[in-house]
Structure 1
């Protein structure tokens, strides 16, 4: 463990892309100097998704950009991914003496950020959640039971694992096409998905859908900004109904600020970066 922590410390001090720990749950790329910001990408995404955000934020700040194991070409690891990310991230923050960093997460990364801040409330300074919910599986049925969540999540996981390669790739591409507006962004995101380990993706998706953090987020002490989207779902529900889902799911997080993007799809950092940067800048002042 001592050797692993030394490797993590060197990664931060040298500002280069090095695995945070041996057999790590994530790779870290560090740039800039100053107060720490940790950025966590979503399901099957590369840390490259934060490239523009890093360019915007990392003058007076030091950004630590994660890519999770099994995603976008990173080696997969054994066991459930999300608990290992949570545990190793706590070790990484402590080893590198990052104090109380700002934690920014998108999608699955946002769920992970919530989970981490609830389990380690003293380790997070501020929290920015980009289009993620504490209980993704409960969006349509708020009173769904824990067993029902697990059954639904298992069905999604099994479907991902059972499809052949061509079907899996087509399904990924179809889903991504609803999440970003520009063709080049869709292709980039889909490419990360194709380079991701399917078992790792299916397992992470299970963990995301099977768990409900709506009660746990009451433990979070960090001021929290939630940036949601609705445009991709306008054919199914009006803006007000979608915003209400966000506000209800975050009801037990004290002081959470919820703002809805007017024209961005799920990948807000691609569809409307200026809006996202403006909200984050004002929040971090």
Structure 2
């Protein structure tokens, strides 16, 4: 199996949502948030805001690169009668104000998320994270293994830099990541390029337009730093500390033109998650990177069954 050939298209989907970075173009509507909720913007977590919707056991939802919390609207609608949904929007993504500093961006987000869980007295909240959000869920859970409950990781990996070269280390990835950070910070990508990238990650035309709007409305420096942080942090060994059960939902259909198969893509996921004690990898048959949009029935069936099975893990 040629793992490098398999990794490359996955890298494009997982990381390069930011390809659409640019100054927002005329005629592009502002992002729409479909679910009304209370706002929370305390100084304790300046790198993100939170909307709280519903009642029940706590559930944190963390979006991916360039996406605000509204990417989870349908997921919130599905779970708000059973869970108190805490919907995270990272500063600088999807038109939200950029953070005051991007220094150690994702490390600060991780620590602020852990602080939020403690301050709000959330007892082992379930966490659902997409792409970058999945990485953050793994990172905070491996940092404080007792802080969270079951995790649902949507099309994300513990170390994304290896998609170009499986022998890559966090240190050796830095020169390439730094070059990409500089390029992405320039904000010169066009709306057309952003839309083309969205087409590779989702199927529905309306979703493609929405994701494109979020991408071009995001702060280039913030997204560039998030990309750098993703490429230079390796969690493959750290996930061994995660105590809770983890469901990993993977996509492969979009990579078929590159020679990938369901089996070869699953092998990539299994290799990356090999040290994670309690995990199960499931692969969507048809969904692209935004599985909660592209294959929603499968996404909810998998997640519902997993959460029902592991509800006791939170007690």
TM-score (norm 1): 0.91
Residue 53 (structure 1) aligns with: 75
Residue 90 (structure 1) aligns with: 114
Shift of 1:169: 3.3
Residue 5 (structure 1) aligns with: none
Structure 1 runs (4+) deviating above 4 angstroms are none
Q: Secondary structure at the match of 1:84?
A: helix
Q: CA RMSD in A?
A: 1.5
The question of whether the paired residues in 2 share the 8 Å contact of 1:139 and 1:245 is answered with: no
* Total equivalences in the alignment: 270
Shift of 1:115: 0.6
Residue 237 (structure 2) aligns with: 215
Structure 1 residues 150-229: aligned runs within 5 Å: 150-162=174-186, 164=188, 167-229=189-251
Q: Where does structure 1 lack aligned partners over 5 or more consecutive residues?
A: 1-13
Alpha-carbon separation, structure 1, partners of 2:197 and 2:42? 31
Residue 109 (structure 1) aligns with: 133
Alpha-carbon separation, structure 2, partners of 1:113 and 1:23? 16
Shift of 1:22: 5.6
The question of whether the paired residues in 2 share the 8 Å contact of 1:152 and 1:210 is answered with: no
Aligned mate of 2:52, from 15, 30, 37: 30
Which fold has the larger relative contact order, with Cα–Cα distance below 8 Å and residues 6 or more apart in sequence? Answer: 2
Residue 239 (structure 1) aligns with: 262
Q: Secondary structure at the match of 2:287?
A: coil
Residue 144 (structure 2) aligns with: 120
Q: Where does structure 2 lack aligned partners over 5 or more consecutive residues?
A: 1-35, 309-315
Residue 149 (structure 1) aligns with: 173
Measured against aligned partners, the alpha-carbon deviations of 1:26-76 in whole angstroms (never above 9, x if no partner) come to 110101111100000000001111011111111121000001011112111
Residue 155 (structure 2) aligns with: 131
Q: Secondary structure at the match of 2:288?
A: coil
- Residues 196, 163 of structure 1: CA spacing in aligned structure 2 closer, same or farther, 3 A cutoff? closer
Shift of 1:140: 3.9
The question of whether the paired residues in 2 share the 8 Å contact of 1:20 and 1:92 is answered with: no
Answer yes or no: is 1:81 the counterpart of 2:119: no
